[in-house]
Structure 1
Amino acid sequence: MGESNGGNGRRTEVLVVVAPDPDADPAVTERLGRQLQREIRDLDVEHVRMASSASTPEGTKGVDGATLGTLLVALSASGGVLTTLIGTLHHWLGRQRAGQRIMVTIDGDTIELQAASAEERFALIDAYVRRHSGGRDDG
């Protein structure tokens, strides 16, 4: 999913799939998906857009018809934008019902965020961000 951004360095495309609590009202889950899209748009990302589940890359885990939203986010490789994005997703998920989860995919590598202690989520997120930022802390 990562690709070159001309001569300006590397651009990373991040697939964000939000799967709702199975008992949630569809209208509420759609509203929450749009809210998350607005929160991501407020970050220093190149773009964020809704993508259909049918257009997600082959092999992406957890994508099915019950997904609340599938977002495609483009980041420039400079700065701590990936760290900020993952942190935003983590905080957004913390404000939602326990049954929801988020899958984040970069270059075929997927991390699933769901109900876990804050410490467990932080450790998982930290390892994932380091893997996709060349082992450096870009936050």
Structure 2
Amino acid sequence: MSFESNVKLTIALSNPDLDAEEQERETRNLLREIRDLDVESAELVAVTEIPEGARSVGGFLVGVLQTEVSLANFKKLLGFLGDRLGGKSIELEVEANGKKLKVKASSREELLAAIQAAEEFVKPK
């Protein structure tokens, strides 16, 4: 598998019941868990890339992280996200083959549909 076939994934968690510090803790826990998987990289998103309406804490966006994973491990990462984030409100942005796909999910069913769309999106044509 060539380096160009890596998939970039931006994960934005959204939980209005949590304050900024709690959201930050939840995001850092998820980041640690993702780093334990076989990913090329996983980082919090720096404030320099602020989307409209986003909050930041300590120089990083609250609830947002980016990861890069090989195509071979992409499905494993999506499976982990489905297990870990089912029922939570999240936004995924998948970048592969020079294209981007952005999906939102606020239930387990929506997340599974979003994961399926992401898998279809990255399949080589």
- Could you say whether these structures have the same fold, taking a TM-score greater than 0.5 normalized by the shorter chain as the test? yes
Distance 2:10 2:114 in 1: 17
User: Scaled by the length of structure 1, what TM-score is found?
Assistant: 0.67
Matches within 5 A, 1:58-77: 64-66=53-55, 68-77=62-71
Query: Partner residue of 1:87?
Result: 79
- Please say if 1:30 is aligned against 2:24: yes
Question: How many residues are matched?
Answer: 116
Distance 1:36 1:22, change over 3 A: same
CA distance 1:29–1:129, shift in 2 (3 Å): same
Task: After TM superposition, give the deviation of residue 43 of structure 1 in Å.
Answer: 1.0
Q: What residue is the counterpart of 1:59 in the other structure?
A: none
Runs of 5+ consecutive residues of structure 1 not aligned to the other structure: 57-61
Describe the shift of the 1:68–1:92 C-alpha distance in structure 2 as closer, same or farther (beyond 3 A): farther
Bigger strand fraction: 2
* 1:127 maps to which of 93, 98, 117: 117
2:102 maps to 1:110: yes
Shift of 1:41: 0.5
> Percent identity between the aligned chains?
25
**How high is the TM-score relative to the length of structure 2?**
0.73
Per-residue CA shift, 1:67-89, capped at 9, x if unaligned? 63222211123x2x111112222
Structure 1 residue corresponding to 2:37, chosen from 33, 40, 43: 43
The residue matched to 1:49 in structure 2 has which SS? strand
* Structure 1 vs Structure 2 CA RMSD: 2.6
